[in-house]
Amino acid sequence: MNLRAYVSKLDWQKHLRDPRTYGVLEILTYLWRTGPLDAHRKAAFRWGLQLLRRAYRRERPVVWTNVYTPPESIWALGGLPFLPEVAAAVVANVGRAPAFLQAAQSAWYSTDLCSFHRCGLGLALADLAPRPDLVLATGHLCDGAVKFLEAAAEVYGVPFYVLHVPYGGGAREVRWLADEMAALAAELRPLLRTDQRLQARVARNSNLARQYLVEINRLRALEPTPWSGQEALTYVAVLFMALGTPGGALFYRRLYRALLTRVRLNRPAIPRQRFRLLWLHFRPYYPGEPLSWLERERGAVVAFEEVHNVTWDPLDPHAFWSGLAARMLGNPLWGPARRRAEQVLRLVRRYRIDGVVHFAHWGCRQSNGAVPVLQSACAGAGVPFLNLEGDCIDARNAGPGQMRTRLQAFLEVLEGRKSGDHGRR
Amino acid sequence: MGSAFVDLTCSYVPVEIIRAAGFTPRRWLPTPVGAGGGLPQSLCSYARACAAGSGAAAVFTTCCDGMRRCYDLRATRGDRVFILDLPRTAHDAAVTYFARELQRLGDWLAGLGGQAVTPRSLAAAVDMESGRRQHLLRRTTGAARAAERYGVYLESLATSPYQATAYGTDAAAPGPGEGPPVLVTGTCPPDPGFVAAVEESGLRPAGLDFCTVIRGFAEPPLGEGGDPWLALARGYLAKPPCPRTADRARRRAYLEQLLDETGARGVVAYGFKFCDHTAYDLGLWRTVCRHRGLPLLYLEGEYGAHAPGQFLTRLHAFREALEA
Amino acid sequence: MITVGVDIGSVTTKAVVLVDGEWRGASLLATGADNRGSAEAALVRALAEAGVKREEVAVIVATGYGRINAPFAHRQVTEITCHGKGCHALLPQTRTIVDVGGQDSKVIRVDDRGRVVDFVMNDKCAAGTGRFLEVMARALETDLAGMAALARRAGTSVPISSTCTVFAESEVVSYVAQGRPKEEIIRGLHEAIVDRLEAMLGRVGVEPAVAMTGGVALNRAIVEELSRRLGMEVHVPPHPQLVGAFGAALIACTATA
Q: What is the pLDDT along chain A (425 residues), one digit of tens a residue?
A: 566 666 667 788 888 899 999 999 999 999 999 999 999 999 999 999 999 999 999 999 999 999 999 999 999 999 999 999 999 999 999 999 999 998 998 888 999 999 999 999 999 999 999 999 999 999 989 999 999 999 999 999 999 999 999 998 899 999 999 999 999 999 999 899 889 999 999 999 999 999 999 999 999 999 999 999 999 999 999 999 999 999 999 999 999 999 999 999 999 999 999 999 999 999 999 998 999 999 999 999 999 999 999 999 999 999 999 999 999 999 999 999 999 999 999 999 999 999 999 999 999 999 999 999 999 999 999 999 999 999 999 998 888 888 999 999 999 999 999 986 543 32
| Interval B60-109: pLDDT, tens | 999 999 999 999 999 999 999 999 999 999 999 999 999 999 999 999 99
Question: Would the CB atoms of C127 and B35 count as touching at under 8 Å?
Answer: yes
Which whole number is the average pLDDT over C47-71?
Answer: 93
Q: Do C257 and A424 touch (CB under 8 A)?
A: yes
Residue-range domains of chain C with CATH? 1-91+238-257 (3.30.420.40), 92-236 (3.30.420.40)
Using CA of residue B154, residue B155, residue B158, residue B159, what is the dihedral sign? negative
**A338·B248 Cβ contact <8 A:** no
Mean pLDDT (chain B) is 85
Class at the top of the CATH hierarchy for domain B5-119: alpha beta
**In Å, how far from its chain's centre is CA B216?**
5
Distance (Å, whole) CA C61 – CA C14: 12
Is the pLDDT at C53 greater than 50? The verdict is: yes
Q: What are the start-end ranges of the E strands in B47-135?
A: 57-61, 81-84
Is the CB of residue B279 less than 8 Å away from at least one CB of chain A? yes
> pLDDT: is B213 or B108 the higher one?
B108
Identify the CA nearest to C215 among candidates C132, C157, C153, C92: C132
| Predicted pLDDT of residue C99 | 95
d(CA C101, CA A291): 28
The order of strands in the sheet holding B24-27 is B24-27, B5-8, B57-61, B81-84
Residue bearing the bigger pLDDT, B141 or C138: C138
At C58, is the secondary structure helix, strand, or coil?
strand
pLDDT in tens, A109-147: 999 999 999 999 999 999 999 999 999 999 989 999 999
DSSP A341: H
B67, B69, B107, B272: best mutation site toward chain A, by most A Cβ within 10 Å? B69
Q: Give the residue on C whose Cα is nearest the Cα of A420.
A: C115
**Would you call C229 exposed, middle or buried from its count of C-beta atoms within 10 A (0-12, 13-18, 19+)?**
middle
C96-100 and C75-76 beta bridge pairing: unpaired
What's the mean pLDDT in B174-192? 79
Q: Which of C170, C177, C199 sits opposite B35 (nearest CB)?
A: C199
Higher pLDDT, A5 or C109: C109
User: Which chain C residues are within 8 Å of A372, Cβ to Cβ?
Assistant: 203
| CB distance B52 to B33 below 8 Å | yes
* The pLDDT value given to residue B70: 97
Average of pLDDT values for B278-307?
89
B77 reaches C (C-beta below 8 A): no
* Residue B263 vs residue C125, higher pLDDT: B263
Of A160, A180, A336, the CB nearest to B72: A336
Whether A405 and C77 lie within 8 Å, measured CB to CB: no
Q: What ipTM was reported for this prediction?
A: 0.93
Cβ of residue A170 closer than 8 Å to a chain B Cβ: no
Provide CATH 3.40.50.11890 ranges for chain B. 5-119
| Spatial distance between the Cα atoms of C95 and C113, rounded to a whole number of angstroms | 9
Higher pLDDT, C232 or B187: C232
C92: Cβ contacts below 8 Å, ≥ 6 apart: none
Span B294-303, average pLDDT: 90
* Confidence band, pLDDT 50/70/90 cuts, at residue B2: low
Cite the residue boundaries of each domain of chain B with CATH code 3.40.50.11900. 145-323
| pLDDT band of B174, cuts 50, 70, 90 | very low
Mention every residue, 6+ apart, whose C-beta is less than 8 A from residue C12.
C28, C29, C30, C31, C102, C215, C241
Report percent pLDDT > 90 for chain B: 52
More confident residue, B175 or C198: C198
Pairing of strands C12-19, C2-8: antiparallel
Question: How high is the pLDDT of residue C10?
Answer: 85
pLDDT of B171 > 50? The answer is no
User: With the C-alpha atoms ordered A308, A311, A314, A316, is the resulting torsion angle positive or negative?
Assistant: negative
Residues 6+ apart with CB under 8 A from B204: B146, B172, B175, B178, B179, B180, B181, B182
Task: Please give the pLDDT value at position B137.
Answer: 73
pLDDT value at residue B218: 63
- Contact criterion met (CB < 8 Å) for C162 and B37: no
User: What CATH number was assigned to the domain covering residues B145-323?
Assistant: 3.40.50.11900
User: Mean pLDDT, chain C, as a whole number?
Assistant: 89
Calpha distance B234→B307 (Å, rounded) = 37
Q: Which amino acid is at A345?
A: L
pLDDT of residue C156: 85
B215: closest CA of chain A, how far (Å): 19
Among A309, A281, A296, CA closest to A216: A309
Q: Does C33 touch chain B (CB under 8 A)?
A: no
Bridge partner residues of A355 (DSSP): A277
Show Cβ contacts of residue B191 under 8 Å, excluding neighbours closer than 6 positions: B151, B154, B304
**Residue from A164, A280, A376 whose CB has the most chain B CBs within 10 Å, to mutate:** A164
pTM assigned to the model: 0.90
* B219, pLDDT greater than 70: no
- With a CB cutoff of 8 Å and minimum separation 6, the contacts of B131 are none
Whether residue C170 lies within 8 A of chain B, CB to CB, comes out as yes
Domain boundaries, chain A: 7-419
pLDDT band at C149 (very low <50, low <70, confident <90, very high): confident
Chain C contacts to A (CB-CB under 8 A)? 59, 65, 74-75, 77-81, 85, 113, 115-121, 123-124, 203, 205, 251, 254-257
C174-208: per-residue pLDDT in tens? 788 888 888 888 888 888 889 889 888 988 889 99
